[in-house]
Structures are given as C-alpha cells and as structure tokens.
Amino acid sequence: MVTSIADVLAGAAIAGFFSAETFSNHLLTIIMLCISTACLYGGGIVFNDVFDADLDKIERPERAIPSGKVSLRQASIFGSILLLIGVIAATLVSLTSGLLALAIALFALLYNKISKHHYFWGPLNMGCCRGLNLLLGVSIIAGALWQWYFLALVPIIYIFSITMISRGEVHGGSRLNLYIAAILYCIVTSFLLCFSYLNNKLLLSAVILIPFLWMIFRPLSKAIQNPIGKNIGGAVKAGVISLILMDAAWAATFSTIYTALIIACLLPVSIFLAKAFAVT
C-alpha cells in the first residue's frame, strides 16, 4: 500500500503538481488520490487471497481465509468495498482519474482471476496495474496525462520483471528468469538516467538511484547464485519495496529534492510494515 502511494506522489511530481501555488491550492486532490490508490491496492490484495483460497490451503495455510479467520464471503465483500471506494475517491478528483482507477481495479481482478498463472500475460497484467497507478498521479493536473502517458512503460517493465521471478518464491526458480530480470532492471535504470540527464538532474537523481540499484541488485545477485525459494522471495520483496526509491528518483528528476525526500521517507515505513505483513 505504501508503495502505491509513492507511485501516485511520483506521478503528481511528473505532472508538476508540487509547485508552491499548485500544491497549496489543491492539497485535497492529492489526498483523495492517495486514498484511492491505497484502497485499490488493498482491494487487489484481498481478491488475491479470495481467488487463491484453494491453493493457499496447501501452500500458505496460515493466511486469513484458509486458516478460517475470515470467510470467503466476508473477504469478497470487503475487497469489493475497497475497490469501490478507490474508484469513487479518484472520480471526485476528475473523470479521467476515475477512469484510470476503474482500469486499475479491472486489471487487478483480471490478474487475480485469470492471468496470474500465465508466464507472460500475468507479469504484463501486473505491470499495467503499476503503470496505470503512476498515471493516476499524473492525472492530477489536467492535460499532463497526454504529455507523459508513455512513462507508464517504466513501471510496467519493472513490475513485469518482479512478477516473473516471483513464481519461484515457493519452490525455487530458474536462473534464466533472474538474468532476464537483471536485464530489465538495467533498462528501467537507463530510462531514469535518460530523463534525469534531459532535465539536467543527473547528479540529483544519482543520489537516489545508487541506493535503489544496491537494494534491487544485491538480493537478485544472491538469488542468481542460489535460486531457492527463500532467496527469490528476498529479491522479490526488495524489488517491491525499492519502488519507493524509483518513485523518489522520478520526483528528483521532475520536481525538487524536497519532494524526492518526502517520497523516500516512505521507505522505512514500508520496510517496517513488510516485517509484519507479507509483501508478496
């Protein structure tokens, strides 16, 4: 959830929302979009457990539904309410934001119900959810979406790689997938460096990108050396949490170092929550 809020803040930074005048006059809109993305993320997580209830009885019996703490019906209702709140909150900002939120909800359901177990479409589907989430933040400024819509490609590639390698979390995975992920990570980094260079923010962005690269490649390297479930799970967890630093890098490139630091401050929060709740 914290990483999804970071996505929206990064999108808003790309749109130019954090200029003094715009921010002070439209603070409520960014709050509504943060509520929207948090609910959409939460709803997606709930439906992940709903559709995986039978599988979790075998692989993860400690989860809420297979353990009997929550019924399948209760979880379905709760997930639906979260998705509905997410769409409504975004629609209160603008119709465009509402349509993006609706698309995120539909892609999340599509992933959880159908595409999750497909080698290619599953990771692409999940990547689209994150790409749309970044655009949800961009939509906070009218007209900015049509200027920067193509930047959604970056989180799509990044999340595609993470989702692809996550298939080995339980029983171990393939080194080939891990090498492909490393290549995709490099492509994502190249995109970020390119835009930071074009905006004359290369040095500023590097301050964020260096710890970002350390966080994603260190556990990935460990998983490549020994692709057992535990190591792959660590690489996936680090990749998801590191989204916050990627978002901070976007903010450093398109806004100010202060905006980037605000987003980066979400990192320790996410790390703390990851210790209490499953990230993947």
- State which residues form the domain around 165: 2-276
Q: What local confidence, expressed as pLDDT, does residue 167 receive?
A: 73
Residues with Cβ within 8 Å of 99's Cβ and at least 6 positions away in sequence, in order, are none
Report the sign of the C-alpha dihedral through residues 65, 124, 94, 19, in that order: positive
Distance CA 216, CA 115 (A): 25
Measure the CA–CA gap between 100 and 52, rounded to whole angstroms: 26
Q: Looking at residue 23, what is its pLDDT?
A: 63
pLDDT computed for residue 93 by the predictor: 94
- Of the candidates 199, 188, 177, the one whose C-alpha atom is nearest the C-alpha of residue 253 is 199
**Tokens encoding 59:** 């692989």
Give a three-class secondary structure readout of the chain: CHHHHHHHHHHHHHHCCCCHHHHHHCHHHHHHHHHHHHHHHHHHHHHHHHHCHHHHHHHCCCCHHHHCCCCHHHHHHHHHHHHHHHHHHHHCCCHHHHHHHHHHHHHHHHHHHCHHHCCCHHHHHHHHHHHHHHHHHHCCCCCHHHHHHHHHHHHHHHHHHHHHHHHHCCCCCCHHHHHHHHHHHHHHHHHHHHHHHHCCCHHHHHHHHHHHHHHHHHHHHHHHHCCCHHHHHHHHHHHHHCHHHHHHHHHHHHCCHHHHHHHHCHHHHHHHHHHHCCCC
Query: What angle in degrees, to the nearest 10, is found between the helix axes of 95-113 and 121-138?
Result: 160
Residue 269 confidence (pLDDT): 85
**Alpha-carbon distance 148 to 127, whole Å?**
17
CATH (domain of 89): 1.10.357.140
pLDDT at position 14 is: 95
In this structure, the number of other CB atoms found within 10 A of the CB of residue 62 comes to: 9
pTM score, two decimals? 0.90
* Total number of domains constituting the chain: 1
Structure tokens at 143: 């007209």
CA 99 distance to own-chain centroid: 18
Q: What is the pLDDT of residue 21?
A: 63
Give the pLDDT score at 275: 65
Query: Could you give the CA distance from residue 80 to residue 76 in angstroms, rounded to a whole number?
Result: 6
Find tokens 């996550």 and name the residue: 166
pLDDT lower than 70: segments of the chain: 20-25, 168-173, 274-280
